Amino acid sequence: MAAAPLYCVCRQPYDFNRFMIECDICKDWFHGSCVQVVEHHAADIDVYHCPNCEPIHGPSMMKKRNNWHRHDYTEPNDGTRPVQAGTAVFVQELQTRSFASGDEILVPMHGSQVTQCYLEREGFHYPIVVHDLDGLGLKLPPPLFSVSDVEHYVGANKVIDVIDVARQADSKLKLGEFVKYYYQPERSKVLNLISLEFSDTKMSNLVEVPEIARKMSWVENYWPDDSFFPKPFVQKYCLMGMKNSYTDFHIDFGGTSVWYHVLWGEKIFYLIKPTKANLALYESWSSSPNQSEIFFGDKVDKCYKCVVKQGTTIFLPTGWIHAVLTSQDSMAFGGNFLHNLNIGMQLRCYEMERRLKTPDLFKFPYFEAICWYVANNLLETLKELREDNCQPQGYLVDGVKALISSLKTWLRREVRECFEVPDNIRPSRLIKALTKEIRYLEDESNKAGKSQGSAEWPLARSSLEKGYQAQRAARRKLPSNLDVLELHTLEVLKRLEVGPLEEVKRPTSPSTADAIQGMLSMAGLLCQQASAGGDILQQHWWSSQGNSNSNSSSDTWDSSEPCSAPRSPEGEDGSLGEEYSYRESSLSPPLHPSKRHAPNPTPISNQATKGKRPKKGQATTKQRLGKIMKMSRHKGLFL
Ligand SMILES: O=C(O)CCC(=O)C(=O)O
Ligand SMILES: [Fe+2]
Ligand SMILES: [Zn+2]
Ligand SMILES: [Zn+2]
């Protein structure tokens, strides 16, 4: 076998994880770290001379700046080309634009008011701003925590993705290099770091996610400990942005909701409601070739400006389209979470990402897998509610309907594409069972409609109080609590097609009580109890549908069905029409590579992805090897 070619002063073979630059004289390639060229600097070099060639041919030559309004600052400044997002001119102009006031939409709340009960009752459709953090359950480092403190806790060698704001281009760098650059008295570039997920670092102990984000999070509640897929970590980001950093309009991955706390500095959010019209406009803007030259805020009816000062926390609900200007050097913490309150909108955002061909790295890791886990859990919830003559809340019914519709669509394409159906889930059966539960609820609702005023299916107080929770808790099956033997049994049963998964029941141990409480609460039960007071006890479950306070998806801009997601062609009855049985039909289906047992799967976070949209750009010969390396990781991000 021929020996691999060697490169650089270090004479090493090509390592696709390391950025390299080509010498314009000797044509050899050099590791950025071996020749002290950081990746984002390579973009400024016109002609590169390596350390061997420099003594003879002189130093490298830098590109000449011709403009301040284009991503490529060498373009001639002849007034013909529009301003591009992120450039110095853009940021200056942004500050003089006028916007609707954030006060029109922001819901100011005290930390202790931001509870699951509140959101289940009122809905989570508008951004929430919290100035008094008491009761929020958010733990933070002290206000003077510095950029070099982050380096201390996370490690100087941690490779991070930073955004060169003026080019809106993403490059890799070591945290130590970023910190050194941050403290330089004069910075030639504005760098924005928004993708540093630190759950797996020592800094994790210094930050506790707001309780509401923990309690509602799908990953926290529904991701089984024994999942074949590695658990997604997207709950703890540290954002360090230099003054005038700008992140263009985007929807957070998978339609996740997000919290941000500005520890110091200031961030300005430009917010747009995810109405059907706005989402359609966003989708077409996102796929337009001159996206960076069009300010999306101008395309919509209303764009709200919200200044988030230090010490403030903001929560953005599902689907909100936002851009962010970092108006001062800032440090912020934030995290993303999926939840039960806006399932339909989450799915709509995910389907849009798919249509826009968003690279995996920019998407919620294993989004479809988590939806299957959630569906499995919600089925249990609906069944138990039915058994106990209790009705689920409107948002949950709408969410399950939207989930069924998406799961069917995914199942149809599973056969052709790489799939994320977890091993212990039998998809067709699950979809059918969920459909049955929904149909049952609809039948009851129709019956109730006919006999209005009668208390056919009351929410009895006792059924919502402690005893009831305990009763449900005792019945509930937590996937994370299955032991090896049981898993094995399930697997064998599944393969032998003996009985539904749900038939294998086991009592839960008292130690899972907290988790159970969380799950009950997620299913909308605890909330009903707490918010019931006296009146609701007399109400029928259907009465909440006409209630403007209820958290149903009757919002004008949040209808339950995905607006543009591909519709499944199945019949009205929701049946699949045929049995989609890739997995069921085979006793030993092939394992997807990512489903093979990994003893210690590495945490997955989309570290390079937060808030960033992939941009197409030209790679120069100088960076080509580096870019090729990136392409394989970013799926064609640059080429
Ligand atoms: O702070 C920023 O520049 C962007 C924040 C954001 O929206 C995100 O990370 O998704
Ligand atoms: Fe964002
Ligand atoms: Zn080297
Ligand atoms: Zn050379």
Cα 520 to Cα 310: distance, rounded to the nearest angstrom = 35
Ligand 1 atom with least separation from CA of 325: 3
Cα distances from 64 to residues 72, 74, 75, 80, 85, in angstroms, run 10, 6, 9, 19, 21
pTM of the entire structure?
0.75
CA 537–ligand 1 middle distance (angstroms)? 43
For residue 241 and ligand 1, the question of a CB distance below 6 A is answered with yes
Say if residues 38 and 173 touch (Cβ distance below 8 Å).
yes
For residue 324 and ligand 1, the question of a CB distance below 6 A is answered with yes
The band of 16, judged by pLDDT with boundaries at 50, 70 and 90, is confident
The ligand with the least distance to the CA atom of 246 is: 1
In this prediction, residue 308 carries a pLDDT of: 98
Q: What is the mean pLDDT of the chain?
A: 77
In this prediction, residue 153 carries a pLDDT of: 98
In this prediction, residue 87 carries a pLDDT of: 98
CA 49–ligand 4 middle distance (angstroms)? 5
Closest residue by Cα to residue 393 from 114, 115, 122:
122
CA 62–ligand 1 middle distance (angstroms)? 31
Least confident of 134-143, 164-173, 349-358, 542-551: 542-551
Cα 618 to Cα 636: distance, rounded to the nearest angstrom = 11
Ligand 1 atom with least separation from CA of 245: 3
| Buried/exposed code over 453-478 (b: 16+ C-beta within 10 A; e: otherwise) | eeeebbbeeebbeeebbeebbebbbb
Pocket probe for ligand 1: among 161, 240, 247, the residue whose CB has the most ligand atoms within 8 Å is: 247
For residue 472 and ligand 1, the question of a CB distance below 6 A is answered with no
Which of residues 157 and 529 earns the better pLDDT score? 157
For residue 267 and ligand 1, the question of a CB distance below 6 A is answered with yes
Number of other residues whose CB lies within 10 A of the CB of residue 284 = 11
The band of 218, judged by pLDDT with boundaries at 50, 70 and 90, is very high
Query: Does the pLDDT at position 72 exceed 60?
Result: yes
Mean pLDDT in residue range 420-435 = 93
The band of 506, judged by pLDDT with boundaries at 50, 70 and 90, is very low
Q: Whose CA is nearest to atom 3 of ligand 1?
A: 247
Q: Whose CA is nearest to atom 7 of ligand 1?
A: 611
Query: Does the pLDDT at position 604 exceed 50?
Result: no
Q: Give me the sign of the Cα torsion angle 33, 35, 39, 41.
A: positive
Tens digit of each residue's pLDDT (9 = 90 or more) over 563-603: 333 223 233 333 333 332 222 222 222 222 222 222 223 33
Cα distances from 169 to residues 515, 535, 616, 633, in angstroms, run 42, 56, 9, 15
Mean pLDDT in residue range 452-458 = 45
Least confident of 146-155, 296-305, 311-320, 461-470: 461-470
Tens digit of each residue's pLDDT (9 = 90 or more) over 362-394: 899 999 999 999 999 999 999 999 999 999 999
| Residue 541 CA from chain centroid, whole number | 32
The band of 418, judged by pLDDT with boundaries at 50, 70 and 90, is low
The ligand with the least distance to the CA atom of 51 is: 4
For residue 521 and ligand 1, the question of a CB distance below 6 A is answered with no
In this prediction, residue 158 carries a pLDDT of: 96
Least confident of 239-248, 285-294, 587-596: 587-596
The band of 452, judged by pLDDT with boundaries at 50, 70 and 90, is low
CA 622–ligand 4 middle distance (angstroms)? 12
For residue 242 and ligand 1, the question of a CB distance below 6 A is answered with no
Which of residues 585 and 408 earns the better pLDDT score? 408
For residue 247 and ligand 1, the question of a CB distance below 6 A is answered with yes
For residue 251 and ligand 1, the question of a CB distance below 6 A is answered with no
Cα 477 to Cα 609: distance, rounded to the nearest angstrom = 35
For residue 611 and ligand 1, the question of a CB distance below 6 A is answered with yes
Q: Whose CA is nearest to atom 1 of ligand 1?
A: 324
The band of 247, judged by pLDDT with boundaries at 50, 70 and 90, is very high
Among all chains, which residue has been given the structure tokens 């138990």?
Answer: 384
Query: Does the pLDDT at position 235 exceed 60?
Result: yes
Least confident of 123-137, 357-371, 397-411, 437-451: 437-451
CA 350–ligand 3 middle distance (angstroms)? 41
In this prediction, residue 466 carries a pLDDT of: 30
Pocket probe for ligand 1: among 94, 610, 612, the residue whose CB has the most ligand atoms within 8 Å is: 610
Among all chains, which residue has been given the structure tokens 């919600």?
Answer: 378
CA 31–ligand 3 middle distance (angstroms)? 4
For residue 252 and ligand 1, the question of a CB distance below 6 A is answered with yes
Cα 371 to Cα 615: distance, rounded to the nearest angstrom = 29
Say if residues 479 and 408 touch (Cβ distance below 8 Å).
no
For residue 365 and ligand 1, the question of a CB distance below 6 A is answered with no
For residue 167 and ligand 1, the question of a CB distance below 6 A is answered with no
Which of residues 3 and 195 earns the better pLDDT score? 195
The ligand with the least distance to the CA atom of 34 is: 3
